[in-house]
A = this chain, B = another copy of it.
Amino acid sequence: MHLTWNRKDLISLDLLSKEEIESVFTVARAFKASLGNHKAKTTLLDGRSVVNLFLEPSTRTRLAFEVAAKRLGADSVTVSAAASSLTKGETLRDTARNMEALQADILILRHPASGAPNYLSKVVDIPVVNAGDGSHAHPTQALLDAFTLLERFESLDGLNVTILGDILFSRVARSNILCLRKLGATVTVAGPSTLVPNDFASMGVRVCHDLRSALEAADAVMLLRIQHERQTSTHFPSIGEYTSMFGLNQERAAWLKPDAVIMHPGPINRGVEIDSELADSNRSVILQQVTNGIVVRMAVLLLCHSFHTGEAIQLPQLNS
Contacts and interface: CB of A to CB of B under 8 A. Distances in A.
B77 A63 contact: yes
Given A57-B83, A83-B59, A266 B47 contact: no
A85 interface: yes
A158 B73 CA distance: 47
B103 A291 contact: yes
A140 to B, nearest CB: 14
Q: How many copies does the complex hold?
A: 3
Interface string A57-77: 101101110110010000101
A291 to B, nearest CB: 5
A195 interface: no
Contacts of A118: none
* A interface, size bucket: 35 or more
Contacts of A100: 287
Nearest to A309: B38
A103 B79 CA distance: 22
B59 A103 contact: no
A306 to B, nearest CB: 13
A64 to B, nearest CB: 6
A39 interface: yes
Interface stretch (A18-26, A176-184, A253-261, A267-275): A267-275
B267 A85 contact: yes
A31 to B, nearest CB: 11
A95 interface: yes
A209 interface: no
Given A75-B70, A102-B291, A88 B48 contact: no
Contacts of A98: 59-60, 266-267, 287, 290
Nearest to A287: B101
Contacts of A87: 57
A114 interface: no
